[in-house]
Amino acid sequence: MKLGLFGINMGPCADPEVAARVAAAAEDAGFDSVWTGEHVVLPDPQAPPSPAPPELPMLDPATCLAFLAANTKSVRLATGIVILPQRNPLVLAKELASVDVLSGGRLIFGLGAGYLKAEFDALGAAFAERGARTSEAIEVIRALWTQSSPRFDGRFWSFSGIQAMPRPVQDPHPPIVVGGHSPPAWRRAVAQGDGWYGFALDLDATQKALHGLAKAAAETPREGAPLEISVTPSLRLDADTLRRYQDLGVQRLVPVARGRNADELVAFVEETAKALSR
């Protein structure tokens, strides 16, 4: 079981000194990855389904991961997730390829379609088209990262006669991890992803999602290796709980970093690693 840490760009970790210290502690404790979250804006006042108060500080994922690349040596750097249909995929491809280069090939590209209509409205992004834009944007980024002469002709983006340098260090590209808890997300993960990521799931919800992925796999053509399954658990983690997630088929657990300051966050990292090694 791999172990990631979610929230390296938010809350107390929006302070660069705290983020660097916590990421280094996770690396030293044997975590394989640290994960960012993303909301460009949040509704004010907070209202469902908004996940966080509007005052929560949240650094831009690519900017934060580039900073952490310089403050760590081996831990993988994951966007968990970027809200892809809110982004220009050509600009994002450049930003994330730059993170992969600066980190020596440690990027994990996690993405999702998003769900906060108020956020889409504020950004001028088409909420109703978010699924179609997400699927097409993945292919745009893949083309920019892998084609010697990138070209694409789609519904939302078209280009040819261009180059997009630098390319990522990882060959053919950084792992593409699709997040989401709906049938379209599961089909997108199977058809276009290297992995799937579920956020804040208990064991029953994880099992439901894995059944959904299996159904999508039976109906959707797929090439390459099986999906790598990553989950942020909603349960408090101990060795027994870890085994129960593992028995379901989860390969990476990504608990939310819990603590009000650097000392508490580092203690959480160390205590989590120790508890799961028993």
Please state the domain extents for the chain.
2-276
Q: How much is the pTM? A: 0.97
Is-contact 210 229, C-beta < 8 A?
yes
- pLDDT over 80 at 239, yes or no: yes
What are the angstrom distances between the C-alpha of 92 and each of 35, 65, 144, 250? Answer: 17, 13, 10, 28
pLDDT digits (tens, 9 = 90+) for 135-148: 999 999 999 999 99
Residue 66 has pLDDT above 90, yes or no: yes
Lowest mean pLDDT among 133-137, 197-201, 222-226, 254-258: 222-226
Query: Which residues lie below 8 Å from residue 214, measured CB to CB, with a gap of 6+?
Result: none
Does the domain spanning 2-276 belong to CATH 3.20.20.30? yes
